[in-house]
């Protein structure tokens, strides 16, 4: 008997597609909201309003002093300011997919399910890659302008030093960004993103990476042995170092990030890992309530029309610290982030 799961009405199909695409987008993103980035999500939006409170630089005073020493401060009242800007969601994934009925009849797998999972996975890849590209381009361009990596990135020694490099990067975040009123990037908003090879060398170097599920730590935090105590950080989470969640970014993501700056997969080869703070980067994502599905104009079958938009803005580059291979030279040219699908062939 033929599998009837393909012959569902459009409404049911759209609900299923929305669920699968959302799961694939948000389970596979390596930057976690409140850790490596600040993220806002809307449905059907083209622009998201982002807010940041401007820090005060008011001076303390001494009562009884000859200058401004009265019981009331003689300085004018300070007005609290909120900086806001529109994050335009200019990146768009809207490649259409056709599912011929004859293909569904001949294949032993559910073509619809596999296609929607593939769409979600590809969207996640593009969001991951574009975010990495924006973050690293900001630091690479800073090094190019300064003609040095000192104060911008951490360079690994000739041998070992993987754990120390993460500590050094975190220490640089401790110094904040005073020019923008940030005395220190909060420790609880930091995240480590690393290559698989870096994780392996890190474990060989110190063996201090707490296991991926962090099950025992969570049970202690909850005071009970229960499945509910387990942390769920997504499928690229690999553990913690000093309370900072660590994520693996596979080689394919680093390669794709390089393609977002126009390189043939090599622009960020020198980057082994990075430590970033959430306040450094804003990201907005606008998904669909469901994938639009129409009859295929090419014949019997269905056409899937996804449309996911997003945007990335690096607000405070000093909140992003790359960890580089030993001997990495300063860039000789600025990097510009451009969606690969908009580049001239």
pLDDT in tens, 64-123: 888 888 888 888 887 767 678 888 899 998 888 888 877 666 655 577 777 888 888 899
Residue-number span of the structural domain to which 94 is assigned: 4-54+83-327
pLDDT in tens, 211-220: 544 444 444 4
**The pLDDT of residue 42 is above 90:** no
Integer-rounded Cα radius of gyration of the chain:
24
Q: In angstroms, rounded to a whole number, what is the distance separating the alpha carbons of residues 23 and 72? A: 57
Q: Residue 157 falls within a domain, yes or no?
A: yes
Structure tokens at 339: 């969606």
Q: Residue 42 falls within a domain, yes or no?
A: yes
Q: Residue 343 falls within a domain, yes or no?
A: no
Structure tokens at 97: 């997919």
Which pLDDT band, with edges at 50, 70 and 90, does 229 fall under?
Answer: very low
Q: Residue 97 falls within a domain, yes or no?
A: yes
**CATH number for the domain that contains residue 132:** 3.90.1690
Measuring CA to CA, how many Å separate 93 from each of 16, 81, 339? 19, 36, 10
> For position 105, what pLDDT does the model report?
63
pTM confidence score: 0.83
Helix (H, G, I), strand (E, B) or coil at 341: helix
Q: Residue 332 falls within a domain, yes or no?
A: no
Q: Residue 77 falls within a domain, yes or no?
A: no
Q: Residue 59 falls within a domain, yes or no?
A: no
> For position 57, what pLDDT does the model report?
73
> For position 143, what pLDDT does the model report?
97
What domain count does the chain have? 1
CA count, 13 A, side-chain hemisphere, 13: 23
Question: Which residue(s) pair with 245 in the sheet?
Answer: 240
Q: Residue 71 falls within a domain, yes or no?
A: no
């Amino acid at each position: 008997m033929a599998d009837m799961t393909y012959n569902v009405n459009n409404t049911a199909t759209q609900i299923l597609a929305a669920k699968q695409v959302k799961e694939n987008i948000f389970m596979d993103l390596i930057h976690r909201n409140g850790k490596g980035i600040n993220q806002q999500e809307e449905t059907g939006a083209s622009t998201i309003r982002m807010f940041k409170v401007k820090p005060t630089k008011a001076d303390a005073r001494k009562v009884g002093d000859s200058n401004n020493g009265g019981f009331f401060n003689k300085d004018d009242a300070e007005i609290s300011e909120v900086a806001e800007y529109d994050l335009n969601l200019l990146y768009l994934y809207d490649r259409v997919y056709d599912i011929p009925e004859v293909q569904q009849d001949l294949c032993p797998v559910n073509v619809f399910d596999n296609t929607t999972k593939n769409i979600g996975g590809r969207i996640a890849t593009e969001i991951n890659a574009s975010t990495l590209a924006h973050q690293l381009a900001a630091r690479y361009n800073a090094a190019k302008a300064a003609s040095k990596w000192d104060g911008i990135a951490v360079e690994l020694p000739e041998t070992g030093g993987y754990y120390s490099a993460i500590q050094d990067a975190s220490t640089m975040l401790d110094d904040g960004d005073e020019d923008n009123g940030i005395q220190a990037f909060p420790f609880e908003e930091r995240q480590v993103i690393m290559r698989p090879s870096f994780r392996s060398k890190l474990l060989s170097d110190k063996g201090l990476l707490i296991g991926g599920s962090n099950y025992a730590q969570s049970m202690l935090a909850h005071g009970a042995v229960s499945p509910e105590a387990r942390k769920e950080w997504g499928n690229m989470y690999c553990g913690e170092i000093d309370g900072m969640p660590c994520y693996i970014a596979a080689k394919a993501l680093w390669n794709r990030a390089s393609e977002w700056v126009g390189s043939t997969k090599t622009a960020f080869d020198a980057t082994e890992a990075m430590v970033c703070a959430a306040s450094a980067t804003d990201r907005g994502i606008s998904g669909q309530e469901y994938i639009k599905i129409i009859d295929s104009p090419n014949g019997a079958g269905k056409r899937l029309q996804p449309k996911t938009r997003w945007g990335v803005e690096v607000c405070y580059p000093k909140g992003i610290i790359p960890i580089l291979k030993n001997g990495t030279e300063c860039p000789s040219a600025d990097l510009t982030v451009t969606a690969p699908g908009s580049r001239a062939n």
